[in-house]
Structure 1
Amino acid sequence: MFNVDTLISDLITYCKRDLRLPEQDSTGEMIRYAFYRKQGVGMEKLNQSHSLRILRIKKHEDLFLANEGRIWWQGAPSSLHTPPPVGPGTEPLNPHPPVTVRPPPPANPPKPPIPPPSTYPVPSSCSVELAPNCVFQVPEIGLKINREYLIQNLPMSVSARERALVLVGMQSRLEAVSRSTEGHCMLIYRQHWYLVANHTIYIGSNKHSHGEALPLEQTVTILLGRAGWPITIRLHSTVITR
């Protein structure tokens, strides 16, 4: 795709198009992108009019794309990524979960109801779609969905796009999803499939949280957090009648 005569400006243009990077920031100002590389204990900005050959870019050398007006490793670490390392033997973009302060849970959180329905889907009948053409079957033991689960299971192209948004100072919808080990939400089977909202979720204009258990009757799309990540849950297999 690229050769040693590729200009840095062409590389930036390709990344903007392929990763769908925004042209303007939240204030309407044009975003100026630039590539950087490690130079000693600092970072060197690469001349956009130079080629990879002139700059003597080595094979597998790490290059860092940034918004010149908001260089991400010079500010506070993102909630998705940390600044690039400058010491030897380290890797770029090594995520470290931040400390999250949450209000205490209710004294008596509601438990998912267990009604005795006359008919119910078999446990293997539930699947979750994290992104277009990215579908996972929910195991019988249930599934906890949090930010780490999404980062690990979303397609690489989707993860790369969300990382790029964060790197240039934009908001990623993944940042609205809780890192909690209990899951932002859970899918559980109790003679019926239930969606448990450990943290705030939205179904249409309806808000659910604090451990509220919602019986699943049909395909539903939810948002994990306000303006958060959308996922679609489907029930689509045979039904057993008692």
Structure 2
Amino acid sequence: MPGILLGDVFPNFEAETTVGPIKFHDFLGDSWGVLFSHPHDYTPVSTTELGKAAKLSKEFSKRHVKMIALSVDSVEDHRGWSKDIIACNSEAPDSPLPFPIIADEKRELVTELGMQDLDERDTDGMPLTARCVFVIGPDKRLKLSILYPITTGRNFDELLRVIDSLQLTTGKRVATPVNWKPGDCVMVPPNIPEDEAATLFPAGVFTKGLPSGKKYLRYTPQP
């Protein structure tokens, strides 16, 4: 079945983009990466999404994340549409789009990576490209994937929150609870014994009492 699983090395594909040809791993370098797809250029939901991504580009950069978009349209179409994106979503309409867009005209990448919405098809009967998000770590392995149908726009603020969690939990032996935000308490995983947890988290470990009596809801200030 086409697609890629969490922990897999992300394919080192070559592609044409709005900034010229790339080899994906070289494009990422030692950064984190976000690859996100959209059904087509010059479509309303996608225009709002890429506009929001452009507005948040500095926040992604602060986190050492490189962004790159993808659809099955041509480089020429991408460049023309980029002007609409900036004009509709930016206070500086002459500024360039701060990330490249891949031209996957032969649908090779959307097929290989499982980025298709089989419930939505174009006039030729071909499945449209879904609103897929891949987060890739500096080790070039897939850390997160989300597949939205084409009728649902994504939340790029939530993507930043998820990246904050991924980067924190990659470097520290913690987990983040529901609706966690940077600065909130984090959770101590159950596989860390109490004596080791006390050493790892000198700010203290706090256990929530439960009817079961099991001490698995353990919190600590964000390290």
TM over 0.5: no
TM-score by length of 1: 0.24
TM-score by length of 2: 0.25
- Name which one, 1 or 2, has greater alpha-carbon Rg: 1
Structure (1/2) with the larger strand percentage: 1
